[in-house]
């Protein structure tokens, strides 16, 4: 189930990135006191009480031409309107209401989305009175906040979370495998989607997805039900959208959230570029099952070693996806396309696999006996018990004497041993160390 989405909108230099960092709890965006400086990652995950949600910082979108700032504000607002469940409209208490603020307000009025007006830079009680003039924007009670001092963030998130749509159960059920094709533009996502559906010719229906206008296409093969979550059918409103990488990332993130399996599509002719790794990284961090799909294999000049060399290159570039299977296909000629759905089914099953506790403990005990944990300042990690606490992705908790003694290299060793014993091809697994409370050491 996808998290609800919060977008932060406002003219340049009102403090959007600072608030974004406060909410996601990490300095993920570059913050500097001048307009248009946001250059870094703009998509994170926030949490307030028991609600987890995605956060979009729309700052830093550059547009060439006249009235750059005004156009940027317009694009940011339109992105937020299309992608978000709730929009935080940020303004600056020190600057007061500006023409750019009024421009954003006009766009947001037409969105029919819940809007929360946040007045930033209310750094002390003396500035509290400065929020009243913002009532003129017509969004009800403004929330006074200070990004630099962390004032009012909880109040803001409480209002936001109360406006998120109610959670609903997955409309398809656990037996349906939902997969999304992601990748940079022009790698062949649309062609591959059409080839998969055209080959099967058993489309049940085209229905609008319940989550923010994504288009879901259910179909069935050999008794297995699938849903393709389409990221290629986005509405394009001119070159601004076509050329905005951040917009495509937002679209991909929406699809990733809803999918069980993510197909990372790479152009076999052009090879791997940095953006491929960024996009794949989002899917990995989201804990989704992943298949790397090399498309356009029909037009690659090759010999008997080309596929092996390309596989090695992928493994070198995608070290964090060592678990992901690689499938070489051609959407245009349907070459090897028949191999794709069985791989998707297999990694979806691995993603949802639950291991018996006794078998899991046997594997970990054998691994520890064969290669004991190293000592650290005379102390040695002792693993008392292991249990699986979640699926999609599989999460394992190790109850140990001292969690801080778990070195990342030993955790990776245990990861490899668990994979060797139970498979888990195509899915990340998470290993968490917790102190055994009854341990007296």
59 in a labelled binding site:
yes
Instruction: Name the residue with higher pLDDT: 17 or 139.
Output: 139
Domain covering 5-163, topology: Rossmann fold (3.40.50)
How sure is the predictor about 334, in pLDDT bands with cuts at 50, 70 and 90? confident
| Strand 5-9 to 51-57 pairing | parallel
Asked if 5-163 and 357-435 have one fold, the answer is no
Domain covering 177-351, topology: Rossmann fold (3.40.50)
Where exactly are the structural domains of the chain? 5-163, 177-351, 357-435
Which pLDDT score is estimated for 246?
53
98 in a labelled binding site:
no
17 in a labelled binding site:
yes
SS3 assignment, position 193: helix
Q: What is the mean pLDDT of residues 392-408?
A: 92
Instruction: Name the residue with higher pLDDT: 77 or 137.
Output: 137
277 in a labelled binding site:
no
Which pLDDT score is estimated for 233?
38
305 in a labelled binding site:
no
Q: What's the angle, vertex CA 256, arms to CA 162 and CA 153, rounded to 5?
A: 30
Residue reference for tokens 């004497």? 401
129 in a labelled binding site:
no
Q: What is the mean pLDDT of residues 313-320?
A: 91
437 in a labelled binding site:
no
How sure is the predictor about 31, in pLDDT bands with cuts at 50, 70 and 90? very low
Which pLDDT score is estimated for 51?
86
183 in a labelled binding site:
yes
Q: Compute the Cα dihedral for 69, 70, 73, 78 and give only its sign.
A: negative
Q: How far apart are CA 273 and CA 317, in angstroms?
A: 9
13 in a labelled binding site:
yes
The answer to whether residues 77 and 104 touch, using CB atoms and an 8 Å cutoff, is yes
57 in a labelled binding site:
yes
Instruction: Name the residue with higher pLDDT: 62 or 262.
Output: 262
Cα distances (angstroms) measured from residue 37 to each of 16, 17, 72, 261: 11, 9, 13, 35
Q: How far apart are CA 291 and CA 306, in angstroms?
A: 20
How sure is the predictor about 231, in pLDDT bands with cuts at 50, 70 and 90? low
120 in a labelled binding site:
yes
| pLDDT above 70 as % of the chain | 80
Q: What is the mean pLDDT of residues 185-194?
A: 80
Number of helices (H) and strands (E) in the chain: give both, helices first.
Answer: 12, 18
10 in a labelled binding site:
yes
94 in a labelled binding site:
no
Domain covering 357-435, topology: GMP Synthetase; Chain A, domain 3 (3.30.300)
Token digits for 132? 């009243």
Which pLDDT score is estimated for 293?
95
Which pLDDT score is estimated for 251?
65
The answer to whether residues 417 and 432 touch, using CB atoms and an 8 Å cutoff, is no
339 in a labelled binding site:
no
14 in a labelled binding site:
yes
348 in a labelled binding site:
no
Token digits for 205? 């229906």
230 in a labelled binding site:
yes
Instruction: Name the residue with higher pLDDT: 100 or 75.
Output: 100
């Amino acid at each position: 189930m996808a998290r609800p989405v919060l977008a932060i909108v406002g003219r340049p230099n009102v403090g959007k990135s600072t608030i974004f960092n406060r909410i996601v709890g990490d300095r993920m965006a570059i913050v500097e006191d001048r307009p248009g400086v946001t250059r870094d990652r703009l998509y994170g995950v926030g949490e307030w009480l028991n609600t987890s949600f995605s956060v979009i910082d729309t700052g830093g979108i550059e547009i060439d031409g006249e009235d750059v700032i005004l156009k940027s504000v317009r694009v940011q607002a339109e992105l937020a309107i299309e992608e978000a469940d709730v929009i935080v409209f940020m303004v600056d208490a020190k600057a007061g209401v500006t023409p750019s603020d009024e421009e954003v307000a006009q766009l947001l009025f037409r969105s029919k989305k819940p809007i929360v007006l946040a007045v930033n830079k209310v750094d002390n009680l003396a500035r509290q009175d400065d929020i009243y003039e913002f009532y003129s924007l017509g969004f009800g009670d403004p929330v006074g906040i200070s990004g630099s001092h962390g004032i009012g963030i909880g109040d803001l998130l409480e209002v936001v979370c109360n406006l998120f749509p109610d959670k609903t159960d997955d409309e398809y059920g656990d037996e349906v495998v939902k997969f999304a094709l992601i990748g940079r533009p022009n790698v062949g996502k649309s062609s591959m989607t059409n080839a998969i559906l055209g080959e099967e010719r058993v489309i049940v229906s085209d229905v609008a997805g319940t989550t923010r206008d994504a288009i879901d296409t259910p179909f069935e093969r050999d008794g297995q039900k699938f849903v393709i979550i389409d990221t290629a059918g986005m509405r394009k409103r001119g070159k601004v959208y076509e050329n905005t990488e951040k917009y495509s990332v937002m679209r991909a993130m929406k699809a990733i959230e809803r999918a069980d399996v993510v197909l990372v599509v790479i152009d076999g002719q052009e090879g791997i570029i940095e953006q491929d790794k960024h996009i794949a990284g989002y899917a990995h961090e989201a804990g989704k099952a992943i298949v790397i799909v090399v498309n356009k294999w029909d037009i690659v000049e090759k010999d008997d070693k080309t596929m092996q060399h390309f596989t090695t290159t992928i493994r070198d570039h995608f070290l964090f996806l060592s678990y992901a299977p690689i499938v070489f296909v051609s959407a245009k000629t349907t070459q090897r396309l028949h191999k794709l759905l069985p791989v998707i089914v297999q990694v979806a099953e691995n993603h949802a696999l639950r291991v018996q506790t006794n078998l899991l403990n046997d594997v970990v005990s054998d691994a520890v006996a064969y290669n004991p944990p190293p000592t650290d300042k005379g102390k040695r990690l002792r693993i008392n018990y292991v249990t699986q606490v979640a699926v999609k992705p599989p999460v394992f908790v190790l109850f140990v004497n001292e969690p801080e003694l778990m070195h990342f290299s030993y955790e990776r060793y245990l990861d490899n041993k668990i994979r060797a014993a139970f498979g888990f091809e195509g899915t990340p697994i998470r290993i968490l160390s917790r102190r055994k409370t009854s341990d007296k050491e």
